[in-house]
Amino acid sequence: MTDEQNTGESFAADGGSASAVLHWNTTQISRRTTPVLPDDIGFSNGGGMRHVSREAVTQIINEQVTAARAQATALPFFLKTEISGGETPPSAAYFATKRCIDIVVSSLLLLILFPILVVIGLLVALEDRGPVLYYQTRVGRNGRHFRFYKFRSMVKNADALKEKLAAQNEAAGPVFKIKNDPRVTRCGRILRKTSLDELPQLINVLRGEMTLVGPRPHLPREVALYEDWHFERQNVEPGLLCLREVLGRSNLSFDQWVAYDLLYIRNRSARTDSWILLRLIPAVLKADGAY
């Protein structure tokens, strides 16, 4: 693997095994954090803060979710946007069970899918003799930075070409998306369409940096461009799968994406997680908005 301290985004060297990735020293990255809330933003009253009203955030969520429903599957009745002030946070048993499921499922999938992972790695390497894995620094819970893995789906100099393509960005907000990105390789296009490029993130789940169900993690430079109401999503562990993945993926605007993340956070439960996980296969097969 190459060092990413100077570039911010880099490739993992080809030929590395899953065990080598698991034991990679992340001490330097783990010490860096992105504030969950800037110093002058807060939900509480008092102090010299710019106040972010929970009611105002609820209204934004309602507006964005309503706008998104025109292109998304109907939401189940138990996902509520309203807040009454009497909500109780998820129990300790929920978090303990969720972590146990993360460990068991990610371990089993890495073991069962190992032959497929090897084949994908060979195909990625053979297309242009480049690295197999691509890693980035992403922002997790409470602003903690961690190394985020994917199968490489773009040409080797993708980051260098990104600046030249900036004017073609089709996504609103801080994220960068191009539907027919010329940097994507032939193999990468298939991996992205089927979401197979995301499989290495099972390593992140096993290590506790991510969970199976939760908001997708963003880059530090994307978090730096958050609007005030976006920061609530940093209060939970990032996930491999989120509401956006099963309701619209890249067809949703950034604000709609964040609204769904906050909707999930306000309704976290075993039932909500199960509802999302059960829609994983249909969402992948449909590949709506995947590119």
Question: In Å, how far are 73, 116, 131, 289 from 152, measured between CA atoms?
Answer: 30, 15, 7, 19
Beta strand pairing status for 239-241 and 41-42?
A: unpaired
Choice between 291 and 215, residue whose per-residue pLDDT is larger: 215
Residue 291 lies in a domain: no
pLDDT tens sequence across 248-273: 655 678 888 888 898 898 889 999 99
What range does the domain containing 151 cover? Answer: 9-77+89-286
pLDDT tens sequence across 44-95: 434 444 566 778 888 888 888 777 666 555 677 777 776 655 567 788 999 9
**So what's the pLDDT on residue 35?**
64
Residue 218 lies in a domain: yes
**So what's the pLDDT on residue 282?**
65
Choice between 177 and 290, residue whose per-residue pLDDT is larger: 177
**So what's the pLDDT on residue 86?**
55
**So what's the pLDDT on residue 85?**
56
Mean of pLDDT over the chain: 76
Residue 120 lies in a domain: yes
pLDDT at 163 over 80: no
Residue 82 lies in a domain: no
Choice between 276 and 16, residue whose per-residue pLDDT is larger: 276
The rounded Cα 250 to chain-centroid distance in angstroms is: 12
**So what's the pLDDT on residue 221?**
87
Residue 235 lies in a domain: yes
For the segment 15-30, the average pLDDT, to the nearest whole number, is 40
Residue 242 lies in a domain: yes
Residue 35 lies in a domain: yes
Give the lowest-confidence range in 21-25, 85-89, 130-134.
21-25
Residue 150 lies in a domain: yes
Quote the number of domains for the chain: 1
